[in-house]
A and B are shown apart, each in its own frame.
Chain A
Amino acid sequence: MRRRGFSLIEVLVSLGILAIVITTTIAMFAERSRRLRQAHEVTLAYQALANEAELWRRVDFKDIDAQPLTFRSDLTIIAPMTPYSASVKIDTPRSDVRNITLTIRWDTAQHAVSLALARADTGGSNLW
């Protein structure tokens, strides 16, 4: 056998194994890179959301509806995720409750994280 060289089937099997190894390696690299990027993005996005939530917690309940539906905190930390969009949504399930949802979208809106905040009218000081 060895004196005749390798048969077609031997060569094909070898190339098949090599192809599997190369494909697996490439897929592993790509997946690791993607997950690492996502972890960075989510970590940064949640810091930005937490900062904005901190401001919305402090707004007097009676003034919530009059607030602009935009982020007012500094979003420098999510600059590496440019282009991104940040939005605020206020729902009124009851007259004395406001649900505030903060959302950041990036990667052409394929990825998004949200943070929801429930505010209730305590009738007194701005406790939460």
Chain B
Amino acid sequence: MVSGQRTAGSGQESRRLAPCSLSAARCPLRLRGYSLIEISVTLAIFGIFLFIVVSLTAEMRRNEKRWPINFMAHPDISAVVSRLRRDVYDSKYFPDGWQSYSQSNETPIIYTITPASGETIVWDFRTPGQVTRHAWTSNQPQTDWTARGTPTFTTEKYDAPNGQKGIRVTATDDKGKLAIDQILIPRPHD
């Protein structure tokens, strides 16, 4: 009984896998392979799809290159700008030097007012990819805060049309495009 079933099974399998002539009209499609026109149409559709995807990707890359990197989307970098803005707004004057630092575009020094007394702040932009804010109360170091992964910041003196002195802080991306440009002018203080 068992051997009979095996015999029958072997017979069906041998029929299914019987050699098929390529020219045989009744030969199953899958065994004949695909015709030239079938392959051409399939490749044409795939080619259109591929062309659309590639051209859209290229267009996006061209568009992205046109714009500077949006540094403001990075929390550390926007924190640098907002802390520097607050320091300049609260500043009374910009000392020529402090401790081992000299007033320069890479190390702006700011004397700020605080509810208790005053603070001397030094922003250090000299290390590429890093910004450090040093704060002193009187001669005592108070806080050091460092942001990493930043672009190269630079500052310059800015003369407002009304004669007030301020700071212009800028940063460019690795392609040299201006990405951050902020004018900061101190609040008037008594």
- B162 engages A58 (CB within 8 Å): yes
Q: Give 25 pairs: A residue, B residue, CB < 8 Å, sorted on A.
A: A2-B28, A3-B29, A5-B29, A18-B45, A30-B56, A33-B60, A37-B63, A43-B73, A44-B67, A47-B182, A51-B183, A54-B183, A54-B185, A55-B160, A55-B183, A58-B161, A58-B185, A59-B161, A59-B162, A72-B161, A73-B183, A74-B181, A76-B181, A80-B68, A127-B187
| A43-B72 contact given A18-B45, A74-B181, CB 8 Å threshold | yes
Closest to B72 in A: A43
- B56 engages A26 (CB within 8 Å): yes
- Decide yes or no whether A22 CB sits under 8 A from chain B: yes
Q: Give bound CA distance, A51 to B28, whole Å.
A: 75
User: What chain A residues lie within 8 Å of B60 (beta carbons)?
Assistant: 29, 32-33, 36
- Decide yes or no whether B147 CB sits under 8 A from chain A: no
- Decide yes or no whether B70 CB sits under 8 A from chain A: yes
Q: Give bound CA distance, A19 to B44, whole Å.
A: 14
Give how many B residues have a beta carbon under 8 Å from the other chain's beta carbons.
Answer: 35
- Decide yes or no whether A89 CB sits under 8 A from chain B: no
Q: Which 8 A-B pairs have the closest CB atoms?
A: A40-B67, A29-B56, A77-B181, A51-B183, A54-B183, A58-B162, A33-B60, A43-B70
- B187 engages A80 (CB within 8 Å): no
Residues of B57-107 at the interface with A, using a CB-CB cut-off of 8 Å, are 57, 59-60, 63-64, 66-68, 70, 72-73
- B70 engages A77 (CB within 8 Å): no
User: What chain A residues lie within 8 Å of B176 (beta carbons)?
Assistant: none
Mark A23-55 against chain B: 1 for CB-CB distance below 8 A, else 0. Answer: 001100110110011011001100110110011
User: What chain A residues lie within 8 Å of B56 (beta carbons)?
Assistant: 26, 29-30, 33
4 more contacts with CB within 8 A, not counting A33-B63, A77-B181, A80-B177, are A26-B52, A57-B185, A73-B183, A80-B67
- Decide yes or no whether B53 CB sits under 8 A from chain A: yes
Interface residues on A, range: 35 or more
User: What chain B residues lie within 8 Å of A48 (beta carbons)?
Assistant: 181
User: What chain A residues lie within 8 Å of B45 (beta carbons)?
Assistant: 18
Residues of A73-128 at the interface with B, using a CB-CB cut-off of 8 Å, are 73-74, 76-77, 79-80, 125-128
Q: Give bound CA distance, A54 to B66, whole Å.
A: 28
| A22-B178 contact given A2-B30, A30-B56, A80-B66, CB 8 Å threshold | no
Shortest beta-carbon distance from A23 to chain B in Å: 10
- Decide yes or no whether A60 CB sits under 8 A from chain B: yes
Mark B18-56 against chain A: 1 for CB-CB distance below 8 A, else 0. Answer: 000000000011100000000000000100010011001
Most chain A CB neighbours (cut-off 10 Å) among B72, B166, B181, B190? B181
Shortest beta-carbon distance from B71 to chain A in Å: 9
- A47 engages B63 (CB within 8 Å): no
Our pick among B29, B72, B162 for the contact of A2 (Cβ within 8 Å) is: B29
- Decide yes or no whether B164 CB sits under 8 A from chain A: yes
